[in-house]
């Protein structure tokens, strides 16, 4: 199942996304947020609607998380490019929900930063409350689906501050979407790519994670309670780099779609 969140007649709705004659369309309204259905996406009764092309919809971030947990340095070649050691356990940090940005929304660079970088990543959406998972427990029932995330970063501030709250936490620094789907398998390997102005900059695959999703989710759950709808950004492949006003960044996760955002300077 694939779904999005969008504005219709001034109201936010969740909508089922289906391929109709090879084109992705929003075909049904979901009665409530799939995250509130605690992983029972297939069982939600839905309402008919006039189909809307996904490409034409007024999309919103498809998640409403209580928190966004990010994994740093989860691809070996990315740790190398930033000159970091390969971590021996997952390195996690938070982005605030106020940093969320819709697909197509404008990322606003703060004047205080001289270098803002894109980081294309696979996002994981949590389906049900998850705390202190044991090493034997299967994490898959706790996953509602997957999406694209741009873990946008003020790199100079990240290097300057001991804590990354500021560098990672500006408003608009967490574009997410366009949809959430449960139809991909990151354990089997899913391509994650980023382009800037149409030029390929990052090309990774989730099979190259240093820490697989089960390790990551178990690790986080032993620190904090993950709630339905919480978002995990799973780390970025090599090829991160700076962008400036006017640039367009596209993060593509195969089987999810493309998350496209333009960069502007804050006025």
Q: State the nearest-atom distance from the C-beta of 168 to Mg ion, in Å.
A: 8
Of 46-54, 89-97, 115-123, 221-229, the segment contacting Mg ion by CB under 5 A is 115-123
Residue least distant from Mg ion (Cβ): 151
Report in angstroms the alpha-carbon separations of 133 from 140, 193, 210, 224, 266.
12, 31, 20, 11, 42
Strand bridging mode 23-30 / 11-20: antiparallel
- Is 85 buried (19+), middle (13-18) or exposed (0-12) by CB count in 10 A? exposed
Q: What share of the chain is helix, strand, coil (3-state, %, to 5)?
A: 15, 45, 40
Q: State the nearest-atom distance from the C-beta of 135 to Mg ion, in Å.
A: 26
CB atoms within 10 A of CB 31: 13
The answer to whether residue 206 forms part of the interface with Mg ion (CB under 5 A) is no
Q: Among 3, 69, 147, 151, which residue sits at the site for Mg ion (rule: CB under 5 A)? A: 151
Q: Among 236, 239, 240, 249, which residue sits at the site for Mg ion (rule: CB under 5 A)? A: 236
Q: State the nearest-atom distance from the C-beta of 234 to Mg ion, in Å.
A: 8
Q: Among 119, 193, 230, 250, which residue sits at the site for Mg ion (rule: CB under 5 A)? A: 119
Of 51-59, 135-143, 215-223, 228-236, the segment contacting Mg ion by CB under 5 A is 228-236
Q: Considering beta carbons, is residue 46 or 205 the nearer one to Mg ion?
A: 205
CB atoms within 10 A of CB 2: 23
- What residues make contact with Mg ion under the rule CB under 5 A? 119, 151, 236
């Amino acid at each position: 199942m694939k779904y999005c969140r969008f504005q219709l007649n001034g109201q936010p709705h969740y909508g089922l996304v289906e391929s109709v004659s090879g084109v992705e369309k929003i075909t049904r309204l979901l009665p409530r947020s799939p995250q509130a259905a605690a992983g029972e996406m297939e069982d939600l009764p839905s309402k008919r609607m006039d189909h809307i092309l996904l490409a034409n919809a007024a999309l919103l971030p498809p998640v409403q998380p209580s928190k966004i947990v990010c994994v740093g340095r989860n691809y070996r070649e990315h740790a190398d490019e930033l000159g970091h050691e390969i971590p021996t356990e997952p390195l996690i940090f938070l982005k605030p929900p106020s940093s969320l940005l819709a697909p197509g929304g404008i990322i606003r660079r703060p004047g205080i930063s001289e270098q803002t970088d894109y980081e294309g990543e696979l996002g994981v959406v949590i389906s049900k409350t998850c705390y202190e998972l044991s090493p034997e427990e299967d994490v898959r029932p706790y996953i509602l689906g997957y999406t694209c995330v741009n873990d946008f970063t003020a790199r100079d501030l990240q290097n300057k501050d001991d804590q990354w709250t500021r560098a990672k936490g500006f408003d608009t620094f967490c574009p997410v979407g366009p949809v959430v789907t449960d139809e991909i398998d990151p354990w089997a390997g899913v391509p994650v790519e980023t382009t800037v102005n149409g030029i390929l900059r990052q090309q990774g695959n989730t099979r190259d994670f240093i820490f697989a999703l089960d390790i990551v989710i178990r690790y986080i759950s032993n620190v904090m309670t993950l709630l339905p709808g919480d978002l995990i950004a799973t780390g970025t492949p090599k090829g991160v780099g700076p962008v400036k006003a006017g640039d367009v960044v596209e993060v593509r996760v195969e089987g999810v779609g493309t998350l496209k955002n333009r960069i502007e300077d804050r006025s």
